[in-house]
Amino acid sequence: MNALLTDLYELTMGAAYFEAGKTAERAVFELGVRRLPPRRNFVLAAGLPQVVDYLLNLSFAADEIAYLRGLPQFQHISPAFFDYLRDFRFTGDLFAVPEGTPLFAGEPMLMLRAPIIEAQIPETYLLSALSFQSLIATKAARCAGVAGGRPVVEFGTRRAHTPEAGVLGARAAYLGGCAGSSNTLAGFRYGVPVMGTVAHSWVMSFSGESEAFRQIQRILGESAIQLLDTYDTIQGARHAAKTQGPFWGVRLDSGDYKTLARQVRTILDEGGHKDAKIMVSGDLEEYRIRDLLADGTPIDAFGVGTQLSISADAPSLSTVYKLVEIEICGIQRFTAKYSDDKPSYPGSKQIFRDTNRDVIARCGECGRGEALLRPIILGGRLIEPLPTLEQARQRAAESIAKLPDSLRQLEEAEPWPVIHSRELRELTERTRRNLLG
């Protein structure tokens, strides 16, 4: 299942490892964040349960194997490889940073240790699954961080890159600090609190706005939210203020929010709806939220769509999946890539997070602080249930709260210190000398 959801070269390399007699070689791959996206001071790790699910279910169906066999790239591959694929499973080890952990440039988010074919094929899926959710969780943390405790609700499924990305994006947004999402399947599947109002079509389906408002209050009661801007926001607010019975509040979806929110607040108050809240949506992101609140605009909640659900100002994360170690007949060989300017560190690693810095060390070294990379799957088996989404969300909130103030700001700050242990630096130097002669 899902084993074809990868780049073809993972599979041709799989075949080539097989034909080159490397089936028994064990590889260690490291998935890490090369650079932080612009204006980000950390990236929140997210998406691990999807990775675990993928690895535990990785297999090829018979028709998938037949498809590969028919491709021109596999014409010279021996039948034994296709037999091998029939029984293919992930039998290796996965080490990963818990969801909700802030990471910094150059830090590994996970490590896979497995026979080289089993470790190679997952590359594409793992990169996509973790990068996407981490991007969205990070963006959500930024939006929630400036909202001063006011709920920020994720409204962006319609702009997500496929509906399914909307579901996983909603999960990540909640993990990162959103109060909930409009994505109902994310509620059903992951327990994300779901929230929503009405669309303009509700208002337009009635011949008059007042009737639309009256009906939705009658039907939904105290959870009703009146959408004000179908025809004219101020006129809409007057209609809403005349609604009998309690309703949650109103939503502004266009116009100059600073002016409108104040006017609408006054109209609601004068209409006896002091408890009715004002939610704002439409082209919001963290800077806009900060700006609105800086002026004391009376806003109680935010709905954030496009900008959050595709992390519009930073829609990709610079993650890499690197071979760092290979074990051939019990002998370890360390590997690194040297054509880039950036140093590439070989070998299995651990991250130690101390109170004032991170140390990236060789696996097995002792260190101070929390060891971030934890065993998740050993020998193809999940060793214990993963933390729940609520726990991951809690970890995110607590971890972010512990960071220095400057790193919680929206602007790029002096980076959190990340250093490499002496042992790791020595190994790096030795590996470079061995490889480049």
The CB-of-369 to a copy of itself minimum distance in angstroms stands at 31
Beta strand 225-227 with 249-252 is: parallel
Q: Is 154:165 a contact under the CB 8 Å cutoff?
A: no
The CB-of-425 to a copy of itself minimum distance in angstroms stands at 20
| Cβ closest to a copy of itself, residue 6 vs residue 421 | 6
Instruction: For 32, list phi and psi in degrees, rounded to 5.
Output: -140, 170
Strand partners, 325: 28, 334
| Cβ closest to a copy of itself, residue 113 vs residue 353 | 113
| Cβ closest to a copy of itself, residue 159 vs residue 374 | 159
CA distances from 354 to 50, 64, 360, 402 (A): 29, 47, 11, 11
Q: Is 267:293 a contact under the CB 8 Å cutoff?
A: no
CA distances from 360 to 93, 324, 348 (A): 20, 14, 10
Q: How many CA atoms lie within 13 A of 228 on its CB side?
A: 32
Which among 174, 169, 141 is positioned nearest to 157, based on CA atoms?
A: 169
| End-to-end CA gap in the chain | 43
| Cβ closest to a copy of itself, residue 319 vs residue 399 | 319
Q: Is 236:265 a contact under the CB 8 Å cutoff?
A: no
What's at 139, amino acid-wise?
K
| Cβ closest to a copy of itself, residue 99 vs residue 229 | 229
The CB-of-224 to a copy of itself minimum distance in angstroms stands at 9
The CB-of-367 to a copy of itself minimum distance in angstroms stands at 27
The CB-of-194 to a copy of itself minimum distance in angstroms stands at 5
The CB-of-116 to a copy of itself minimum distance in angstroms stands at 6
| Cβ closest to a copy of itself, residue 223 vs residue 409 | 223
